[in-house]
Structure 1
C-alpha cells in the first residue's frame, strides 16, 4: 500500500471513486480496489483491499480501526484519501 500511495501522490496513478466508500485503480499489470465500511459485527470501521496481479492472482487484506497495531489501518486510510484526491483538477493554480 505504501508503494501505491507514493505512485498516486507522484501522479503516476489515477484512481476512480464510487461515492465515498470505494476507490478503484487499474494499471498495466494490476488492478486494485479499496473499500471503506462500518463493520457492525465488530463495531468498528474497516478498509478492505483487493489486489489482482498480472498473473490474475487475487489478494484480499482487511485493516480494522480497533486493531492492536493501527499501522495497517493508517496506511489504508492514507491510500484511500490520496486515491480520492488523485486526478483532482482545480480551475486555478497557486
Structure 2
C-alpha cells in the first residue's frame, strides 16, 4: 500500500469516526444548560451575596456599587440581540 492510499484511508476512517460520534449524542440540549436559568450558581448565589457586602466582595473581588456600575456599562452587550426583519 503506497502512502497516498494510506492517507486517504486514514482520512476516511477519521471522518467516519467523527460522524459516528456526532450521531451518538443523547441530548439535543444538555439538561444542565437547559436548566441553567433556574439552577445556575449565579442565579441562586447572587441574591444571597448581595445581602452581605463582605461576602460579595470576596466572591466578585469588587464592591456592590462597582459591580452595579460595571453591569450598567456592559448590560447591552450581555442581553441577546433580536434581529428585526423587514419585508419589502
* Bigger RCO (CA 8 Å, 6+ sep): 1
Bigger-Rg structure (1/2):
2
Q: Which has the higher strand share?
A: 1
TM-score (norm 2): 0.25
TM-score (norm 1): 0.24
